Amino acid sequence: MSQQHRIGTHATTISRIDGRIIVTYHQTPIVTLDVDGTITLDSGGWRSYTTKTRMNQAASQLNLRFSVYQSDFQWFVSVSNEPRPPRPSMPFADGMKFRVNQAARRTA
């Protein structure tokens, strides 16, 4: 099992463009953190184990307080707004946007 705390390097880059942080895997911006704290997730249609792993590694490394998981062949996103209770899981959709508690997130 791959480690989950740091973003893997194979076919993966982290960029800062106009204050946004963009994690790209195989030319697809899989995680984008906008200046206002909005997070956008996009698998580019590649719902693979590695795409999901890279999203979770980005969340861990950048302290974004979300996780992507799979249940019965469907992807879901769980968002934690500590210290508040976590939100219910949401079905994953390419291009989905959400925000986390700004006070709970540190800047990468």
User: What does residue 92 show for φ and ψ, rounded to 5 degrees?
Assistant: -75, 140
In a domain, 6, yes or no: no
DSSP the chain: ---SSS---TTEEEEEETTEEEEEETTEEEEEE-TTSEEEE--TT---HHHHHHHHHHHHHTT--EEEEEETTEEEEEE--TTSPPPPPEE--TTEEEE--GGG----
Distance CA 98, CA 78 (A): 11
- Domain hosting residue 65, numbered range: 12-104
Whole-number pLDDT of residue 8: 65
Q: Where is pLDDT greater, at 106 or 91?
A: 91
In a domain, 4, yes or no: no
19 pLDDT more than 50: yes
Q: What is the mean pLDDT of the chain?
A: 85
Q: Which two tokens stand for residue 100?
A: 């986390």
Q: Kindly report the pTM of this predicted structure.
A: 0.83
Provide the domain count of the chain: 1
Whole-number pLDDT of residue 1: 42
pLDDT tens across 29-45, in order?
A: 999 999 999 999 999 99
66 pLDDT more than 70: yes
In a domain, 7, yes or no: no
Q: Are 24 and 11 in contact (CB under 8 A)?
A: no
Residue type, 54: R
Distance CA 43, CA 46 (A): 5
In a domain, 48, yes or no: yes
In a domain, 51, yes or no: yes
